[in-house]
Structure 1
């Protein structure tokens, strides 16, 4: 399996595509690349002695959203990927890759029916939307819609706790939930500071002032 040729194929198909209607051009490709790296990191935590699916997971990550981001995109992405990979992969590998892609959105089901490999791809895909990428997307949307700093701060307060809790519950592995919590903690801490500095304040002003006085006494 020639991963570099497959990656170039993915790039050619998605370099000018957004991941969704509000996304940035090329984000569909970038999302797949990030998920491809993240899924292998998760696999090393969860299945440390099993790298048998690494190449398959990587390719599935690259192509999992090739059909877009609508409700039935997983099946359509699997079908499209199967056609695109005939030049590079064996029939057996294509079937495994397509099974991963086809199942990556089956989050509300009897999870006992899913392989750990599908669950890994599901978690990597969901986690990629949280943490640092959230900030990138928030400021990208702000620029697109002409929002100012006060608007961004106010929108950060309206993040629905119910949706966050629901998405966290969709994760398959405990370590994925810990990563989710860590990313959300980062976002919360960032916006708390941004709400102060974005309105002309000084974060940790009392602490800085106290340290300043200690240096000059």
Structure 2
């Protein structure tokens, strides 16, 4: 792909459900970072979508004070975007419905990419897609609970190089109603070390053709984003 073509592709509007993002850049959800104040600061730089830090679905439905505080949106925040994680399809459905009905969420992202041990040891985050049936049920539950609000998923390549899941998980998520699929092109074992394998994003894009595929990992400056588009299509 030429530099001109890559630039045109990278700057074309991105549609996620009913939301048309004129700037096709999504602020990745980061635990302990992307709170309402940080998202407000980032809006001044012009990205299209700003996702909250990770919220526990069970903590939300149990109305735990700390979780409810994390789920707050800033004044004028549009679209209202929040990331959930959990392993129980019914709890995920109820949490998604609560976000929509009570907090006015307009986009819900599901975390299947967290590599942190305290999450994965309970089968959550990047460990969950290894259990294909449960993964499908969790996505379907959230989509059902969210009704017309778009639900997206964020994945890693897998647990490690011997347990890759993304090429199965991406199509499964799309089949269950996910409006987009994002891939952090590292395994859980890598965490944030080494280099992201952008070729995996290209392979996922070939496997998922009916919803947008977003790439994540090692984008530090705008030129990196353009290069990712060039290398992944």
- The normalised TM-score by structure 1 is 0.29
Q: By percentage of residues, which structure has more helix? A: 1
Q: By percentage of residues, which structure has more strand? A: 2
- The normalised TM-score by structure 2 is 0.28
Bigger CA radius of gyration: 1
